[in-house]
Structure 1
Amino acid sequence: MPGYSTRTLLVHVGGHAFHLRVLSDLQQFSDPDGHGERLGISPAQWSLFGQLWPAGRLLAQAMATADVAGKRILEVGCGIGLASLVLQQRGAEIVASDIHPLAEPFLAYNSALNALDSVHYRQMDWDLPLETLGRFDMIIASDVLYERGHAALLAEVVGRHAHSVAEVVVSDPGRGNSAPFSRHLAAQGFSVTERRQALDGEPDVPRGRLLHYRRDDHAVGAPTP
């Protein structure tokens, strides 16, 4: 027995139906060998990866129509990974990452549940460089700025893994930490556009903002190719 219970959701994104195995509720917890605790995941945080949050749906919607042709894409803090599944369904080159020890098996299960090849996955601790991961044309994330220090940490991930010409797309529910993140990325040469976003089928209920950062190879702060 895994020590937690799950349920299956049916979610429509970009005209396609996706089935997702998620945790039954926020009360689920199972860390028998202390793996999550050693990674710094508290019992209160443990179940957060296993839910489909509005920001995750917003990011998935954006990826359903984004220009991804020829781009190598990294999802940071993927959790259940709906955006990565959408990109996999579109045939994009996507790598999903998270620190949670169950993110990979849940993502593999959900790939199979939707008759997709398993999304390529790498476990990532934002504090630790992962040189073998390489660089990407697009880095995406949803609701990852929920602690003050995350702005600087995520900006460091971008600095290590974004090409000189790159995009960063973040769906943010408005926790108050996006401004310092934007300042960090501006120092790396990124400009930002922002728009309020609603979920498909709920046009009158904005669920957050979509922050779209772009950098060209002439920007101050861009890495040398």
Structure 2
Amino acid sequence: MYTDSMFSLERFREEYNVEETRYQVAGLSFDFFVPKKIDPFINQDDLFTNFPLWSKIWEATAVLSFHLSTITPDPGKRFLEIGAGMGVAGLVGAKLGHSMTITEYNTDAIKFARANAVLNNIDTVDIRELDWNNPLIEGKFDYIIGSEVVFKEKDILGLHQLFQRYLKPGGTIILAEGMRKTTMAFVKHMENHYTLAIKKQTMKSNGKEIPIILFKLT
């Protein structure tokens, strides 16, 4: 399982009101802790600042998770997941055999990711805090991955700088995003700096069809 001398699953259960959800991808089954309610993470005086987007397993995360199963594991290749939320895609990737570093800025989300690593007996993953505007982790990566990380246009430049800092020469960026105005702004910015391959997929959720764009930037 995930090992961290400072992390306690017992304290996690005491701190958070959680439920477990079953998640299946590429023939593998996982159980993930998710919050029963998001109210404790919402600032009632300012609903839109730091809204807990991390507390949901997004459809784009399912698309990214499955795509990781199409990449042949190579112990010499390093993956960096950004904006990982509760760690779902990164933990799937680690279970598939990828060398995965999972990062997130929100403290609560990091605790959920660590608890989910323990729950799924995954000890081959590094879970770290990463502030896109003040990135402190070291090293470069062969892949940078993420799902639903392009919510605000103001983050696009920061993402570009993050890619420049952490992507190895010849590396690949793989992102899964919903169809939004900011997604198109992201494409317009990045196509000046990378070769883009774009694939549209449709996910069904609660009777609705949700379009997801899978980006590959090289």
Alignment of 1:65 onto 2:65: no
Tell me: CA distance 1:25–1:118, structure 2 relative to 1, closer, same or farther (3 Å): farther
Q: Secondary structure, in 3 states, of the residue corresponding to 2:92?
A: helix
Deviation at 1:172, TM superposition (A): 0.7
> Matched residues in 2 for 1:101 and 1:76: separation?
14
Q: Whole-Å Cα distance in 2 between the matches of residues 198 and 43 of structure 1?
A: 27
Identity %: 24
Which among 119, 142, 145 is matched to residue 147 of structure 2?
142
Alpha carbons 1:72, 1:93 under 8 Å: kept = yes
Cross-structure match for 2:214: 210
Q: CA deviation at 1:140?
A: 0.5
Q: Distance in 1 between matches of 2:158 and 2:53?
A: 19
Q: Cα distance, 1:138 vs. partner?
A: 0.5
Q: Number of residues paired by the alignment?
A: 201
Specify the code of the residue in structure 1 equivalent to 2:197.
T
Could you say what secondary structure the match of 1:169 adopts?
Answer: strand
Deviation at 1:47, TM superposition (A): 2.9
TM-score (ref. length: structure 2): 0.82
8 Å contact kept, 1:155–1:181: no
Q: CA deviation at 1:30?
A: 7.9
Partner Cα distance (2:198, 2:86) in 1: 25
User: Which structure 2 residue ranges, 5 or more long, are not aligned?
Assistant: 1-13
Q: Which amino acid aligns with 1:213?
A: L
Q: Distance in 2 between matches of 1:96 and 1:19?
A: 18
Out of 57, 81, 87, the position equivalent to 2:93 is 87
Which amino acid in the other structure matches residue 95 of structure 1? T
1:1-225 alignment, distance < 5 Å: 1-2=14-15, 4-29=16-41, 45-69=50-74, 70-117=76-123, 119-130=125-136, 132-188=137-193, 190-199=194-203, 205-214=209-218
Asked whether the 8 Å contact 2:105–2:129 carries over to 1, the reply is yes
Kindly indicate whether the alpha-carbon contact (under 8 Å) linking 1:197 and 1:208 is maintained by their aligned counterparts in 2. Answer: yes
Unaligned runs of at least 5 residues, structure 1: 32-40, 215-225
- Distance, in Å, in 1 between the alignment partners of 2:217 and 2:184 is 13
User: In angstroms, what is the RMSD of aligned CA positions?
Assistant: 2.6
CA distance in 1, matches of 2:196, 2:73: 18
SS at match of 1:97: strand
In structure 1, C-alpha distance between the alignment counterparts of 2:205 and 2:29, rounded to whole Å: 14
Q: Determine the C-alpha separation between the residues in 1 that align with 2:24 and 2:179.
A: 24
Instruction: With the length of structure 1 as denominator, give the TM-score of the two structures.
Output: 0.80
CA contact (8 A) 2:197 2:216 kept: yes
Equivalent in the alignment of 1:220: none
TM-fit CA distance, 1:147: 0.9
Q: Distance in 1 between the 2:209 and 2:63 partners? A: 12
Helix, strand or coil at the partner of 1:45? coil
Distance 1:115 1:81 in 2: 14
Q: Which amino acid aligns with 2:98?
A: A
